[in-house]
Structure 1
């Protein structure tokens, strides 16, 4: 299956990285080696996506890190970067800070290809450009000064130009790729059998314009500041989820385990619409179907067994209750409406 090019750009917006490594190497000119690399990282269970991406770009390698449970598509050949990677993102552009990183990356790759970095001043500018590429970095000013010290103190004053970020309309396939990487369909199981449905995409604050476009394209949702550097687009209204989000996602295909998450998410909402949650058997079906949907339930405060016990549906009881009934179910929609159903 060939991916839509905009889907790939959306996936890179979420899980891709353009970066430049600078390492000490006594055999290299000025004692430093510079290397440009493009990567996309996924959980190991989504390695198939990276293999499809590799097929699309006709270059690169896929590496597995079993210890981290991840896989990574990597391209570091200047020839491949110029022939396959860079043209793609010129034709199917990224947004906000990721676009900025790409434009700096493009300039660095161009200078490396021309061997311009053999000039001391150009090499110094490449180092400074590399240090400004990404919003989140562990590179500090001390590391920058140390590297520039290999080239001489006169290079400290070299200034670099800030790339001009362009504003592009949001493509629906791009959004699906972004959701593949950074989107989350979630169902909260609360006390007294309260179910909350939600969807969110979390980004660095610099991507606020992108989240505003998502809000406009889907015609719903809110923007919430999670910290000084993190912002989230979220849909908490069950009505908006059913009328806006589900119809949009049903027109497009996800390719990772997130496809299964969306399927479960939609199934549970359908069960609620059919009022199957109003029976012991139906509510237990929902718990068994969705409680461990994301990360096998590792982020939940209670295990599935502990939750069932907390709502008086622990295993010895609920096996008998399928025939006897006699439990109250509370469903909470995004608008704050509570519906109490007693059997």
Structure 2
């Protein structure tokens, strides 16, 4: 069974809180409201999604053959009210995604109380939807011209307080990389290095900076063009003493764990200076190639 905070960490990385609003002449207002909690991943991560479904004991998993993805979704108001919301209230999200969750929770409450069946209640849902994720579509703006976007909660930085949360978050947003760069000044004609990183939108810059304190290593790099911020560890001794021991103690649950094990193999070769001879370098290249194909 997955640790509850692993699930929250992974949700901080990969989940979405969606409120779908569509026309439906069968309803009293002429509109249908469908709140959905979902996690969409590459089809290779089906086993992990099944673990998450088993953890919550609600929801469905569907496959999308068009983009080779699998989606775990919970859209029953009852399941959202009795399972999903209690989980995230007890084990809270700590990225800026929490703001969307708080608004989503208000929508679910309105639906649970049947308040959306009145025009005023419907407009309240639309006001909330206008502040979730990317807001309203242009069509919905035309249909609901009196919309006043709800105030979006301010999410103050909550320090990373649990290693299980970080394991889940890294399973979603982390990367274990082997970098091989041409360098004619070296004996082998290249340099080999290891790189562990976690990337987020720059709105979560403080959280990324907090990783430095939590793991006791690394630095933060800002990519202004992409509006992202990246926590990076490249120092060999930090990878040896901080990164690898951490994920050995708090294991990854998805296919990223395979990259982590390959990362360790490359680390062991480099620790024994194998990257400084042709045979060892060839082994590292083979490891790197397999990692890229997963």
**TM-score, normalized by length of structure 1?**
0.79
1:43-66 C-alpha deviation (Å, 9 max, x unpaired): 211111111111111110111123
Corresponding residue to 2:167 among 160, 176, 195: 176
Q: State the match for 2:283 in structure 1.
A: 285
* Residue aligning to 1:65: 64
The SS at the match of 2:96 is helix
> 1:164 offset after TM fit, Å?
5.1
Query: Residue 198 and residue 21 in structure 1: after superposition, are their counterparts in 2 closer, same or farther (change >3 A)?
Result: same
Query: Contact 1:128–1:144 at 8 Å: present in 2 too?
Result: no
User: Does the 8 A contact of 1:222 with 1:234 survive in 2?
Assistant: yes
**Offset at residue 71 of structure 1 (A):** 1.1
Residue 187 of structure 1: aligned partner? 178
1:289 and 1:20 map into 2 onto residues whose CA distance is 43
Pairwise CA distance, 1:212 = 2.1
2:142 maps to 1:146: yes
Alignment-derived partner of residue 87 in structure 2: 88
Q: Is the 8 A contact 1:200 1:234 kept in 2?
A: yes
- Could you list the runs of 4 or more consecutive aligned residues of structure 1 that deviate by over 4 angstroms after TM superposition? none
What CA distance in whole angstroms lies between the structure 1 residues aligned with 2:213 and 2:275? 33
Residue 274 (structure 2) pairs with residue 276 (structure 1): yes
Q: CA deviation at 1:144?
A: 4.0
> 1:96, 1:209 within 8 Å by CA — same for their partners in 2?
no
Q: 2:193 aligns with which of 193, 196, 206?
A: 196
Distance 1:76 1:121 in 2: 23
Secondary structure of the structure 2 residue equivalent to 1:291: helix
Distance 1:247 1:159 in 2: 46
**In 2, distance between residues paired with 1:107 and 1:139?**
17
CA distance, structure 2, for counterparts of residue 285 and residue 96 of structure 1: 39
**Is it true that 1:218 corresponds to 2:215 in the alignment?**
yes
Q: Is the 8 A contact 1:246 1:266 kept in 2?
A: yes
- CA positional deviation for 1:26: 2.4
Answer yes or no: is the 8 Å Cα contact 2:129–2:136 preserved in 1: no
**Matched residue of 2:180: which SS?**
strand
**Structure 1 unaligned spans of 5+:** 150-154, 297-343
Shift of 1:159: 5.8
Identify the residue that residue 202 of structure 2 maps to in structure 1. Answer: 205
Alignment RMSD, CA only? 1.8
Partner deviation per Cα, 1:291-341 (whole Å, 9 max, x = no partner): 341345xxxxxxxxxxxxxxxxxxxxxxxxxxxxxxxxxxxxxxxxxxxxx
Q: Which has the larger radius of gyration?
A: 1
Number of residue pairs matched? 286
Answer yes or no: is the 8 Å Cα contact 2:46–2:70 preserved in 1: yes
Change (3 A) 1:215 1:144: farther
Report the Cα distance in structure 1 between the residues aligned to 2:101 and 2:195, rounded to whole angstroms: 32
* Aligned counterparts of 1:144 and 1:204: Cα–Cα separation in 2: 27
